[in-house]
Amino acid sequence: MLTRPGPTALLLLGALLALAGTASAQAPPAAEVPGVSSWLTGRELHVEAKLSPGLPEAARQRLASGLPTTVGWTIRLFVFRNLWWDALKDERLYAVTATYRPDTSDYVVERRLDARLLDTQVVPARDEAAAALSRVPGLPVFTMGDHLLGKKLVVRLRCRYGSGVALGVVPTSDETDWARSGIFEWTAASAR
């Protein structure tokens, strides 16, 4: 015969879930993006950032295991507004995948922007592969249009370096908080 749990059992279960939720919410992030650099070259907006203090330990362990390890950087361009939410103008996904090749004892690093292959590089050491995973290397990410002339702009990005499943069904991800560049303006002089 099945019985319903009493109020004390439900209260105890609720307290345990609340403690588990606050413990995970208070855990410091394994990595952060300390700053975002952006600059214009003609109509191209370049973005540069890196993880600090480097690739988190869980991602390093995955890389050391020989499994393909992917780090995704979500990069967004906003029109900056003082008194209202910023207006999203464009979003790109920069992904880096490092794969160990046991036959040659090296790593293949693939860089992609919006799933389009940018380049493939072979690096001899795991530290070099980890360094490639943990940075955005001054990449031309956005092409500026005339609709952005004279507007105050800002770039925001975050890095997703891991994923998993909680309670067997709930997808989770390990990622940094959003980091932001300084405010800049695209002028007609820089458009040439």
- For residues 159 and 93, give the distance between their C-alpha atoms in angstroms, rounded to a whole number: 10
β partners of residue 112: 95, 117
Contact 132, 171 (CB under 8 A): no
- For residues 180 and 158, give the distance between their C-alpha atoms in angstroms, rounded to a whole number: 9
**For position 84, what pLDDT does the model report?**
74
- For residues 127 and 122, give the distance between their C-alpha atoms in angstroms, rounded to a whole number: 13
- Per-residue pLDDT of 60-84, as tens digits, reads 888 888 889 999 999 999 988 877 7
Full-model pTM: 0.77
Identify whether 9 is part of a domain: no
Identify whether 163 is part of a domain: yes
Contact 139, 148 (CB under 8 A): no
Identify whether 80 is part of a domain: yes
Query: Residue 7: is its pLDDT beyond 90?
Result: no
Token pair for 114: 């919006």
Domain of residue 104: give its range. 32-191
**For position 23, what pLDDT does the model report?**
43
Identify whether 11 is part of a domain: no
The neighbour count for residue 62, using CB atoms within 10 Å, is 18
- Per-residue pLDDT of 10-53, as tens digits, reads 555 555 555 555 444 445 567 888 889 999 988 899 999 999 88
Give the range among 15-24, 34-43, 127-136, 139-148 with minimum mean pLDDT: 15-24
Above pLDDT 90, what percent of the chain? 40
Q: What is the mean pLDDT of residues 124-141?
A: 92
**The total number of residues written for the chain in this structure:** 192
SS3 109: strand
Residue with tokens 């920069």: 94
**For position 22, what pLDDT does the model report?**
43
When divided into structural domains, the chain yields a total of 1
